[in-house]
Amino acid sequence: MQRKIEVCVTPALLGLYDIKDSIVVVIDILRATSSIVYGIDNGANAIIPVANVEDCLNYTDNGYLLAAERNGSVVDGYDFGNSPFSYTKERVGGKTVVLTTTNGTKALHMARSRAKQVVVGSFLNLQSLSNWLKTQDNDVLLLCAGWKDHFNLEDTLFAGAVVNAIRAGFTEFDDSCVAAEDLYLLAKNNLRAYISKSSHSHRLAALNIEEDVQFCLQLNICDAIPVLIGDNLVRLQLDQIPESSLTEHVN
Ligand code: MLT
Per-residue pLDDT of the chain (251 residues), as tens digits, is: 899 999 999 999 999 999 999 999 999 999 999 999 999 999 999 999 998 999 998 999 889 999 999 998 999 999 999 999 999 999 999 999 999 999 999 999 999 999 999 999 999 999 999 999 999 999 999 999 999 999 999 999 999 999 999 999 999 999 999 999 999 999 999 999 999 998 888 888 888 788 999 999 999 999 999 999 999 999 999 764 444 333 343 33
Distance 2 CA to ligand 1 centre (A): 35
Among 137, 139, 103, 122, which residue's Cα sits nearest to residue 22?
139
Torsion of CA 84, 85, 89, 95, to 10 degrees: -60
pLDDT given at position 53: 93
* Contact 72 CB / ligand 1 (< 6 Å): yes
| CB-CB contact of 129 with 33 (8 Å) | no
- Distance between CA 249 and CA 127 in Å, rounded? 7
Q: Which of 26, 28, 108, 120 to mutate to test the pocket of ligand 1 (most atoms within 8 A of CB)?
A: 28
Contact assessment for residue 65 and residue 82, using Cβ atoms and an 8 Å cutoff: no
Pairing of the two strands 232-235 and 139-144: unpaired
Give me ligand 1 centre to Cα 100, in Å: 9
Domain-embedded: residue 247: no
Which alpha helices (H) appear in the chain, and where do they start and end?
32-41, 53-56, 89-92, 104-112, 126-135, 153-166, 175-187, 191-195, 199-206, 210-216, 243-247
The CATH number that applies at residue 122 is 3.90.1560.10
Q: Ligand 1: does its nearest atom lie under 6 Å from the Cβ of 32? A: yes
CB 118 within 8 A of CB 224: no
- Whether residue 142 lies inside any domain: the answer is yes
What is the structure's pLDDT at 110?
95
Judge whether 120 lies within some domain. yes
The residue range of the domain holding 193 is 4-230
CA dihedral for 225, 199, 100, 143, sign (positive or negative) = negative
Whether 182 maps to a domain, the answer reads yes
Q: What is the pLDDT of residue 127?
A: 98
For residue 102, count other CB atoms closer than 10 A to its CB.
19
In a domain, 63, yes or no: yes
Structural domain total, the chain:
1
Calculate how far, in angstroms, residue 34's C-alpha sits from the geometric centre of ligand 1: 10
Q: Are 171 and 127 in contact (CB under 8 A)?
A: no
* 251 occurs within a structural domain: no
Distance from the CA of 116 to the center of ligand 1, in angstroms? 25
Q: Give the pLDDT of residue 106.
A: 94
Report the nearest-CA residue for atom 6 of ligand 1: 72
Question: Closest residue (by CA) to atom 9 of ligand 1?
Answer: 72
The atom number, within ligand 1, closest to the CA of 35 reads: 5
Q: Does some domain include residue 240? A: no
Taking the CA of residue 82 as reference, the ligand 1 atom at the shortest distance is 9
Confidence (pLDDT) at 136: 97
Residues 80 and 90 sit within 8 Å (Cβ to Cβ) = no
Which residues is 80 bridged to in the sheet?
A: 67
What's the CA gap between 215 and 31, in Å, rounded?
9
Within a domain: 245: no
